[in-house]
Amino acid sequence: MPNNLFSKNILPKSLLGRSLLIIVTPLVLLQVVSALIFFETHWDKITRRLATGVAGDIAAVIDIMRREPSPEGRAWAARLAASTMGFSITFHDQAILDSVTTFVNDDMEKNLLHALQDHVQKPVRIDATSLERHVIIEVQLPDGVLEVVTQRKRLFSSTTYVFVLWMVGTSLILFAVATIFMRNQVKPIRRLAIAADNFGKGREVADFKPEGAAEVRQAAQAFLAMKERLQRQIGQRTDMLAGVSHDLRTPLTRMKLQIALLEGADGAEELRGDIDEMEYLLEEYLAFARGEGTEKQTETNLNNLLRDATNQAMRKGEAIDLHTEEQISLPIRPNAFRRCITNLIENGLKYGEHVAIRAGRRAEFIEIIIDDDGPGIPEDKREDVFRPFVRLEASRNPGTGGIGLGLSIARDVVRGHGGDIVLGESPMGGLRATVRLPV
């Protein structure tokens, strides 16, 4: 749509650009319209009147000269013209004009010519170019040529240019002032956007203060209140879980000790297995419920993190192909993120034989792809498996163990960093898990 194209390509995207446009467009329009009106009517009228004045004066001089044709009379007329009209007059006796003005260069000459034709009604020659500040007007009289030199400013008002200069100058100043003010208004909005973005990515929102216009400050305060509430909730959850975990671990340890005393007794081995499983379940559940946790984000080298996680998994004798396209370093919570990657690798190895990991920078995010050659997950189940304690029927055999928290934890961690995990089909035949983190 052309309309769409217009708004996409020509209109500025930033708030600063748009608000300046809102100020400047009417300003320019107003000035153009007023300048046009001024030039069309006022200025034209003024030059015409000035020309009429000069032509009238010249006609008066000619009249006087006709009455006083003697040389003394003419000299007196010239003196009179010089003192009262600002003309300097010379009379070339018996001379004849070699050319007559018919062609004019500009409005001033046109108006002057018209005025002379109206008032003097004799052949004239106008020379506005030979002298810088004066205009020479020659009039053919019956007995010679009358040469009148008059100041250009009697015919032309330079205040017009001054007017235009003032107009352009003041609007430039206004534009500069508006830019400065608008930029100051936009700054707090931009800072709020950055703070909200950082918070969404799980990063620290350092010393953010609400400032700016009332509405912006209100939005910033609402954001801060929301952030406080969320952080308080997370804190409460973590505190409660720390308590639960402590309370449960103590009896479990006690049970373990008691089993050790029951050495060799019937069922002691199974009991120990059950207790180990309970411990594992507890750890997993705590890890999930801790979620955001209290770990701080730190600048982490992703290549090292992926290598460590891979090496650890390979220690169990599995084959993993790790390929990182370049050195990537970004702020993340290293322990939580490593847990996420480990969970995905473990799944790959548990449900498939081989795992391949690929990591690289894309336009707006960092992408980590984990492929395996297992059975994969049918498309309609790919969202379900992210729910806690969801395991697919096929994998519900004791050999693969697991409680169905791995993917929930992984997604929780990645979303806590402002990213997401999506599942898909791997070219290796199994599942492809794609982790995307904002940069």
Ligand X SMILES: Nc1ncnc2c1ncn2[C@@H]1O[C@H](COP(=O)(O)OP(=O)(O)OP(=O)(O)O)[C@@H](O)[C@H]1O
Residues that bind ligand X (CB under 6 A): 284, 343, 347-348, 351-352, 372, 374-377, 385, 390-392, 395, 402-408, 430-431
* Spatial separation of the C-alpha atoms in residues 58 and 50, rounded to whole Å: 13
Taking the complex as a whole, the smallest distance from the CB of residue 279 to ligand X amounts, in Å, to: 14
* Spatial separation of the C-alpha atoms in residues 71 and 86, rounded to whole Å: 21
Taking the complex as a whole, the smallest distance from the CB of residue 359 to Mg ion amounts, in Å, to: 20
Nearer to ligand X, 136 or 286 (CB): 286
Taking the complex as a whole, the smallest distance from the CB of residue 322 to ligand X amounts, in Å, to: 17
Q: How many residues belong to the chain?
A: 439
Residue 299's DSSP bridge partners are 331
Nearer to ligand X, 150 or 426 (CB): 426
Residues numbered 314 to 353 that lie near Mg ion (CB under 5 A) are: 347
Taking the complex as a whole, the smallest distance from the CB of residue 342 to ligand X amounts, in Å, to: 10
Terminal alpha carbon distance of the chain: 33
- What residue type is 334 in one-letter code? P
Number of Cβ within 10 Å of residue 380's Cβ equals: 7
Taking the complex as a whole, the smallest distance from the CB of residue 402 to Mg ion amounts, in Å, to: 5
Residue 337 binding target from ligand X, Mg ion, none, CB below 5 to 8 Å by type:
none
* Spatial separation of the C-alpha atoms in residues 291 and 237, rounded to whole Å: 9
Nearer to Mg ion, 376 or 406 (CB): 406
- What does the block give as tokens for 150? 């008059």
Largest pairwise CA distance in the chain: 156
Nearer to Mg ion, 150 or 347 (CB): 347
Taking the complex as a whole, the smallest distance from the CB of residue 282 to ligand X amounts, in Å, to: 13
Taking the complex as a whole, the smallest distance from the CB of residue 370 to ligand X amounts, in Å, to: 8
Residue 392 binding target from Mg ion, ligand X, none, CB below 5 to 8 Å by type:
ligand X
Contact by Cβ (8 Å): 302, 330? yes
Residue 405 binding target from ligand X, Mg ion, none, CB below 5 to 8 Å by type:
ligand X
Q: What 8-state DSSP symbol labels residue 356? A: E
Residues numbered 376 to 435 that lie near Mg ion (CB under 5 A) are: 406
Nearer to ligand X, 313 or 431 (CB): 431
* Spatial separation of the C-alpha atoms in residues 220 and 208, rounded to whole Å: 9
Which has the closest alpha carbon to 239: 289, 297, 204? 289
Task: Quote the distance between the C-alpha of residue 407 and its chain's center.
Answer: 37
Nearer to ligand X, 293 or 331 (CB): 293
Q: Which residue is nearest to ligand X (CB)?
A: 406
Residue 391 binding target from Mg ion, ligand X, none, CB below 5 to 8 Å by type:
ligand X
Q: How many angstroms separate the Cα of 187 from the Cα of each of 180, 201, 207, 215, 286?
A: 11, 21, 15, 13, 42
Q: Which positions lie near Mg ion, rule CB under 5 A?
A: 347, 406
